[in-house]
Amino acid sequence: MQLRFVEKYQTLPPAKKRGTHSFNRILLIVLIRNMLTKEKYLYIKEKYGSHASWAVWAEETNTPKSNMEDTSIFDKADVYKELNLNVVLVGLNISGYIPGTFENFHGKGGGAYKIRYATKNTPLWGAYLTDIIKDFPEKHSGNVMKYLRQHNDIVTSNISSFEQELKDIGAVNPIVYAFGNDTYEILKKNLEKKYQIKKLIHYSHFMSREKYREHVLKNI
């Protein structure tokens, strides 16, 4: 998969590649997938599976949101070979209780279906998925941010936990992509000097999945 993507990328016109630096960075992202071992995968599953996941989903069938909740893909013996420690996609918080392992971003409602469509066959497929604010189930980001502005210690604690999380999973100089303005501002304010942080429009934004994919591809 990695080499096929590189070969496909090399055939694009220069305007699509956006320069040698961009290509070299993408090449690094793709090749570093091989750093994840089965033992490390199982360790991450045990320690962080209750609130994190990976940008890998079952194939879409009859509808855009079909099979989003199918987490049996994580039971495949070699699934760890598809995963990428060096790309981290970060949301703000969970919207509700997560009942099973690696079910974040894989809910029955299919809310993250645009991420599946946007990352398929790109260096972001297989990225590590997590939230910057843990154990805070709330559907409305405005309520989350209001609470955080009144409790900065919660932000500080979660930033520390996030850094430990990256260390534990074995991320090496990861590129961190933030979903939405709120997540981006938290990460930029606290971690800009430590990591490369990029902003993506939140996947719940009112736009087609095709337009969302275009946006993601422009910001890889």
Report yes or no on 43 lying in a domain: yes
Report yes or no on 85 lying in a domain: yes
Report yes or no on 27 lying in a domain: no
pLDDT tens-digit map of 95-118: 888 888 999 999 888 889 999 999
Report yes or no on 3 lying in a domain: no
Report yes or no on 1 lying in a domain: no
The pLDDT of residue 11? 40
pLDDT tens-digit map of 165-205: 999 999 988 999 999 999 999 999 999 999 999 999 999 99
If pLDDT is split at 50, 70 and 90, which confidence band does 6 have? very low
pLDDT tens-digit map of 11-42: 444 444 444 545 555 555 555 555 789 999 99
Report yes or no on 14 lying in a domain: no
Report yes or no on 22 lying in a domain: no
- Residue 50's domain comprises 34-218
**Secondary structure in 3-state letters for the chain:** CHHHHHHHHHCCCHHHHCCHHHHHHHHHHHHHHHHCCHHHHHHHHHHHCCCCEECCCCCCCCCCCCCCCCHHHHHCCCHHHHCEEEEEEEECCCCCCCCCCCCCCCCCCCCCHHHHHHHCCCCCCCEEEEECCCCCCCCCHHHHHHHHHHCHHHHHHHHHHHHHHHHHHCCCCCEEEEEHHHHHHHHHHHHCCCCEEEEECCCCCCCCHHHHHHHHHHCC
User: Average pLDDT in the 211-220 region?
Assistant: 94
- Number of other residues whose CB lies within 10 A of the CB of residue 31: 15
The pLDDT of residue 109? 80
Provide the number of structural domains found in the chain.
1
Report yes or no on 155 lying in a domain: yes
CATH of the domain at 208: 3.40.470
The rounded mean pLDDT for the chain is: 87
User: Average pLDDT in the 130-138 region?
Assistant: 94
* CA 203 and chain centroid, separation: 11
